[in-house]
Structure 1
Amino acid sequence: MRGRGTVQDLPEWDRCAVMGVVNVTPDSFSDGGRWFDTAAAVKHGLVLAGEGADLIDVGGESTRPGASRVDESEELRRVVPVVRGLASEGVTVSVDTMRARVAEQAVAAGAALVNDVSGGLADPDMVPVVAAAGVPFVVMHWRGFSESMNSRAVYEDVVAEVVAELRARMEAVVAGGVSRERIVIDPGLGFAKDASHDLSLVAHLDELRTLGRPLLVAASRKRFLGHVLAGEGAAPPPARERDAATAAVSALSAQAGAWAVRVHEVRATADAVRVARAVEGAA
């Protein structure tokens, strides 16, 4: 079996893991408002776990392009009860946040992983909080907040630049006290990247794996898949019509050695990564 790496203090799976998404937001790009109520969000997370999600990623702030930030108090109100409810049911929970205080309270409520799309850059207290909590940390490639990130999608060699910027950020996080064995890296598909950049990164996941840490791929329902499905000059299909394309990327990512894939619709991806594992085992 191709080594995917292990993350200290998280379960080990014999295949690419599946991270299901629960957005407790009114404005996320693909499912905003559907799980805004705490009880509905917890129920949805349990459904995703039943469909094959190994982890559930709970977020209370949309990071779609152009999204405005929510107040910290509102993010806490949205996220912490859902984390607590899922953790109390035995679910391995990740908290998707750029705020140290939200991360801290979510971990206290039972979150096992902090998934920060800014890699600790948005809040200077994030790395010290994660280091003190002793929990795993997702370091994503990030060049700025949602309002401005599209203007930052300028690269000469997107793969080389993302790898270099992720390496520098990872080293800064380690220098800040987070154990290297607890770091997961994420190329940040769709964040300060256009469709061609995203496709190049998916095609070169092996180069991202040279960073030596487990790799999370979060392609679910993103714009680049809409562009692929629409073809040149046509309007992309709505986000919720991109799940089959998402499962295809999940299979490719699993085959390339990704540690986990983050998806909104779990069942198809859970099947895809299991098929990829079976093929890998038969090789």
Structure 2
Amino acid sequence: MRVALCQIVSTPDPAANLELVADGLREAAAAGARLVVFPEATMACFGVPLAPLAEPLDGPWATEVRRLAAEAGITAVVGMFTPAGDGRVANTLLVTGPGVEAHYDKIHLFDAFGFAESRTVAPGAEPLVVEVDGTRVGVTTCYDVRFPGLFTTLAERGATAIVTAASWGAGEGKREQWELLVRARALDSTSWVVACGQADPRTAGVEPGGKAPTGIGYSTVATPTGTVHEQLADAPGVLVTELDPEAVDRARASIPVLANRRF
């Protein structure tokens, strides 16, 4: 399956960010991708009040993403925020395209490195696997990548490719952790991991402030044996690559960790 990773720098303006989604979808479709992944917080960057921006899944922002994906004839994974009902929001990935309509609310919230996502975001509870052109695709968000059990659960539910949409926090050693974790989760689940993050905002002339995780770039595709297949640098860009389903079969035959694990 051909996939595209659209590494962008979200702004605080959801309308402006829709233009980034439209551009990315057009470029991905022109390159023949069947699945396009945008980062967490595509709707609006972290570091701004999220509750006033959040919209339901049938609201105008998500409706326009659906229209754009349908127009491009491609399945899109796009980060947004939806009302949670308790004054907080859900950190949601909208998954929409031909024959696909689903969403995933981030399960593991980023209460780490001095940031408390749970203060404004309510956690999700249910893992998600969807089917895109015959490929079972698991869906995860950012901090989820630190939790191997979610990835092995998705693989047990049939996923052979797992998407991770992120807005990774900057800091000493964080790039190294990002790459290591993406590769490790691919090896844990013997699945392709397609990890698309926000670009470093400084590459777009925006100086990040505070502790909000606004992105470092380095979107990465890892093979089922944990090697880096392809990777972007820190600036905005689109990466289009092929996922070989037979690589999953080979990995699971030679490294049968899913079959052998006891806990």
Shift of 1:78: 0.7
Identical positions, percent: 9
Matched, 1:181 2:159: yes
Letter in 2 for 1:201: W
Other-structure match for 1:158 = none
Contact 1:45 1:86 in 2 (8 A): yes
Contact 1:94 1:114 in 2 (8 A): no
2-structure distance, mates of 1:132, 1:48 = 20
Runs of 5+ consecutive residues of structure 2 not aligned to the other structure: 85-89, 110-120, 208-215, 245-263
Matches within 5 A, 1:234-273: 238=205, 249=218, 256-258=227-229, 264-266=236-238, 269-270=239-240
Q: Which has the higher strand share?
A: 2
**2:178 counterpart (175, 187, 201):** 201
Shift of 1:80: 1.8
Secondary structure in 1 aligned to 2:162?
A: strand
TM-score by length of 1: 0.49
Secondary structure in 2 aligned to 1:82?
A: helix
- Structure 1 residues 250-259 or 87-96, which shifts more? 250-259
Letter in 2 for 1:20: C
Matches within 5 A, 1:1-283: 12-13=1-2, 17-20=3-6, 27=12, 33-36=15-18, 42=22, 45-50=25-30, 54-57=34-37, 61-65=43-47, 68-69=50-51, 70-73=53-56, 76-97=59-80, 99=82, 110=98, 112=100, 116=104, 118-119=106-107, 127=126, 130=128, 136-142=137-143, 165-170=146-151, 179-181=157-159, 184=162, 186=164, 188=166, 190-191=168-169, 194-203=171-180, 205-212=182-189, 213-222=191-200, 238=205, 249=218, 256-258=227-229, 264-266=236-238, 269-270=239-240
User: Alignment length, in residue pairs?
Assistant: 209
C-alpha distance 112-137 of structure 1, shift in aligned 2 (>3 A): farther
C-alpha distance 116-76 of structure 1, shift in aligned 2 (>3 A): same
Shift of 1:211: 1.6
Secondary structure in 2 aligned to 1:200?
A: helix
Q: Which has the higher helix share?
A: 1
TM-score by length of 2: 0.52
Secondary structure in 2 aligned to 1:84?
A: helix
Letter in 1 for 2:227: A
Other-structure match for 2:254 = none
Runs of 5+ consecutive residues of structure 1 not aligned to the other structure: 1-11, 144-161, 227-235, 278-283
2-structure distance, mates of 1:63, 1:104 = 13
Shift of 1:27: 0.9
Shift of 1:95: 3.4
Contact 1:214 1:259 in 2 (8 A): no
Secondary structure in 2 aligned to 1:137?
A: strand
Shift of 1:199: 2.3
Secondary structure in 1 aligned to 2:159?
A: helix
- Structure 1 residues 213-222 or 249-258, which shifts more? 249-258
Task: Spell out, residue by residue over 1:114-160, the C-alpha distance to the aligned partner (whole angstroms, 9 max, x if none).
Answer: 675724766666627x46999733123428xxxxxxxxxxxxxxxxx
Letter in 2 for 1:19: L
Letter in 1 for 2:199: R
2-structure distance, mates of 1:108, 1:54 = 12
